[in-house]
Chain A
Amino acid sequence: MVITTLSLQNFTLIIAGAINLIMSILVFSRGVKHSKINLYFSLFTFFGFLWAISLLFSKSLFFGLAAEISYRTAYLAAIGIAMALFYFSYNFPYKNKNLNIYYQLFIVSLAIIISVLGYSKVHIIDFYNGANASNWFVDYYKPFYAFYSLFFLYIIFSGMYFLISKLKNIDIFLKRQIIIFLITFIIGLIIGAYFNLWLPYMENWRYEFAGPICAVFMNVYVFNLIFPKQEK
Chain B
Amino acid sequence: MAKNNKKIFLILAGGTGILNERGYLLSVQSKDDIEDWLAQMPELNILADIEPIFVSGEDDILGSDIWHKIVAVISDKATEADGFVVVSKIDQLINTSLALTFTLQNLKQTIVLTSSQVSGTSFIDKKEIIGGLKNKYGGLGLRSNIINAIQIAGQPLPFPAIIFGTRLIPATKAIMDLSNNTNIFSSIDNDYWGKVDFGINVKSNLSYSKQKTKIYTDRLADILILEDIPGVPWSFDKKALATYRGIFITINPYQPLEKSKQEQIAKWKLPTILYNYQLTSPVKGAVNISHCTKNTAIIKAMWALSSKVKDNKFEDLMARNILGEFLE
Contacts and interface: CB of A to CB of B under 8 A. Distances in A.
Interface string A140-167: 0000000000000000000000000000
A97 B42 CA distance: 9
A135 interface: no
A4 interface: no
Contact of A171 (B1, B139, B190): B139
Interface stretch (B198-206, B300-308, B317-325): B198-206
Contacts of A92: 199
A115 to B, nearest CB: 27
Interface size class on chain A is: 20 to 34
Q: Is the interface of A mostly helix, strand, loop or mixed?
A: loop
A226 B195 CA distance: 9
B202 A231 contact: no
A171 B46 contact: no
A174 B166 CA distance: 11
B138 A171 contact: yes
Interface in A10-58: 27, 30-31, 34-35, 37-38, 41
Interface in B88-143: 136-139, 141, 143
A215 to B, nearest CB: 15
Contacts of B64: none
A172 B1 CA distance: 27
A226 B182 CA distance: 17
Contacts of A226: 197-198
Contacts of A171: 137-139, 141, 143-144
A31 B182 CA distance: 25
B46 A35 contact: no
B193 to A, nearest CB: 11
Interface centre among B151, B166, B192 (most CB of A within 10 A): B151
Contacts of B139: 171-172
A34 B202 contact: yes
Given A34-B202, A38-B198, A172-B139, 6 more contacts: A31-B201, A31-B204, A34-B154, A37-B198, A170-B143, A173-B137
Interface of A: 27, 30-31, 34-35, 37-38, 41, 91-98, 101, 169-175, 222, 225-226, 228, 231-232
13 contacts: A31-B204, A35-B199, A38-B199, A96-B46, A98-B46, A101-B3, A171-B137, A171-B141, A222-B198, A228-B197, A231-B167, A232-B190, A232-B192
